[in-house]
Amino acid sequence: MSAASVSPPAPGGESFDAIVIGAGQAGPPLAERMSQAGWRVAVIERSRVGGTCVNTGCIPTKAMVASAHAAWVVREAARWGVRVPAGASVDLSEVIARKDRISGQSRQNVERWLGGMNGVELIRGHARFEDPHTVVVDGRRLRAERFFLNVGGRPAQPGVEGLDAVPWLSNASIMRLDALPEHLVVVGGSYIGLEFAQMFRRFGSQVTVVQRGPRLVPREDDDVADAVRAMLEREGLAIRTGAECVRLAPAEAGAAGHVRVHVSCQTGEPEVLGSHVLIATGRRPNTDDLGLDRAGVTLDERGYVVVDDRLRSSVPHIWALGDCNGRGAFTHTSWNDFEVMAANLFDGADRGIGERVVSYALYTDPPLARIGLSEREVRASGRPALIGTRPMTRVGRAIEKGETEGFIKLLVDAETKAILGAMVLGVDGDEAVQSLLDVIASRRPYTEVLTGGVRIHPTVSELLPTVLQSLKPLEPL
């Protein structure tokens, strides 16, 4: 994969050394590396630059989580010895305006970044492949020897009946509301749904979470899912699990603007009456309208571009990065795709994505942070392992901050002493857990890496070595 081998211009359209379709997290930095190498590059974006993270994902949602946290602190101020006579009153329009300012500034920064790259043209429009080397954008025919797909994803609504009969919200449209919902029903009890559920409960809405399966966050261990549920219920959220037959319908006369959500749970009322419904049941890749069949690109049954460990699709000169390749649905995995791609293209490396350590966070407050394997996955592997846990009620930093929800859990290979996985549900857990990422990636015993250093007190991460000192055998189920 030589960076120097650039094919001559081809007839029948404008010629580029590379075309990047989608200006999400991986596209702009990759375009910059190409620019530095002297390539002529087209970056095509049909909507807003910055992708999901900047526009409808990480940045705007975490800005709203911060507002929700501020409202919670005001309401709970007495626990810190602070008296707030009037309590907290949330102006949702101001929350949304703050979110828009932060998101908009990030988007403008990406636009300026792209605009300052030599040899890079940002083209607004919808790209469709005409053949393996040609795309058409609003009548412009663009040809290249290399294509990089970074088209991201969008909300999906699998198995929810009645969506065409009632108004409903997506993770994007809920961030455009100008008034608080009286009763928000969230269909979907995983990461996106729970962040919005807790957020709007703290803003002042009544909130019910409807989850098809028996547990929230089904990817997590049972003890983690149970702790998340208990934490949310203590804040006043209603949780309905086991809702196997979710169906939306208009409310009865006299409940104007409301929506009936049939849940068919084994216990509790068979339906929930809400003023607003958020559908947070997953995402799908933006690959269905790119003409990828004309390019010969293979998709899997869910629409993701099938790629190898080097992010190459079934067509040798077309690669897929970010959410559309199904190999990670996070900003940080998209950025890592860029790093792998750039290293292989320009640095003479032979890197792959198969070795990267799983890492992500659920941004409830406090957050749930996870790296490596879960306890369930370690048990399924059959290897002898050790486990260590510690409640946040025994973490000085959490006690001092008055935020003691959650616990720490670490998993270690009993023979090699390599860290297999780590989970922190608790204040600052998303920062603390990252100190173990390099330990896992090094494939060295934690006893060689985490000894001898003096950690700062009081922090959450200072307790990680302490938890490792209390390891015990992971008993079989």
Residue 405 belongs to domain with CATH number: 3.30.390.30
Mean pLDDT value of segment 119-129 = 98
pLDDT for 269 equals 80
For 205-260, write each residue's pLDDT tens digit.
999 999 999 999 999 999 999 999 999 999 999 999 998 788 899 987 656 568 99
Shared domain check, 439 and 390: yes
Shared domain check, 380 and 446: yes
Mean pLDDT value of segment 20-31 = 97
Tokens standing for 367? 């957050």
Pair 199, 175: CB distance under 8 Å: no
- What is the rounded distance in angstroms from the CA atom of residue 209 to the CA atom of residue 298? 37
When mean pLDDT is compared over 1-15, 85-99, 116-130, 463-477, the highest value belongs to 116-130
Shared domain check, 322 and 191: no
Within a domain: 465: yes
Mean pLDDT value of segment 334-342 = 97
pLDDT at 470 over 90: yes
pLDDT at 451 over 90: no
Lookup result for tokens 């009993």: 414
Domain boundary among 297, 323, 346: 346
Within a domain: 32: yes
Question: How many separate domains does the chain show?
Answer: 3
What radius of gyration do the chain's Cα atoms show? Answer: 24
Shared domain check, 290 and 262: no
Within a domain: 68: no
pLDDT confidence bin for 32, thresholds 50/70/90: very high
Mean pLDDT value of segment 258-270 = 81
- What is the rounded distance in angstroms from the CA atom of residue 51 to the CA atom of residue 421? 30
pLDDT confidence bin for 12, thresholds 50/70/90: low
pLDDT confidence bin for 279, thresholds 50/70/90: very high
pLDDT confidence bin for 155, thresholds 50/70/90: confident
Q: Most distant CA pair in the chain: distance in Å?
A: 74
Shared domain check, 32 and 130: yes
pLDDT for 10 equals 47
pTM over 0.85: yes
Domain boundary among 263, 281, 299: 281
For 51-64, write each residue's pLDDT tens digit.
999 999 999 999 99
Shared domain check, 301 and 271: no
Print the domain residue range for 382: 359-470
Within a domain: 43: yes
Q: What is the CATH number of the domain that holds 250?
A: 3.50.50.60
> Who has greater pLDDT, 352 or 155?
352
Shared domain check, 121 and 262: no
pLDDT for 466 equals 95
Shared domain check, 150 and 192: no
Domain boundary among 281, 309, 330: 281
Name 271's bridge partners.
Answer: 262
pLDDT confidence bin for 263, thresholds 50/70/90: confident
Shared domain check, 299 and 372: no
**What region does 461 belong to: left with phi over 0, alpha with psi -120 to 50, or beta?**
alpha
For 173-194, write each residue's pLDDT tens digit.
999 999 999 999 999 999 999 9
> Who has greater pLDDT, 258 or 266?
258
pLDDT for 265 equals 67
- What is the rounded distance in angstroms from the CA atom of residue 190 to the CA atom of residue 241? 12
Within a domain: 475: no
Within a domain: 88: no
Residue 366: asked if its preceding bond is cis (omega within 30°), the reply is yes
pLDDT at 291 over 70: yes
Shared domain check, 407 and 290: no
pLDDT at 9 over 90: no
Shared domain check, 145 and 44: yes
Shared domain check, 363 and 335: no
Within a domain: 265: yes
End-to-end C-alpha distance for the chain, whole angstroms:
48
Give the range among 1-10, 376-385, 399-408 with minimum mean pLDDT: 1-10
pLDDT for 160 equals 84
pLDDT for 243 equals 87
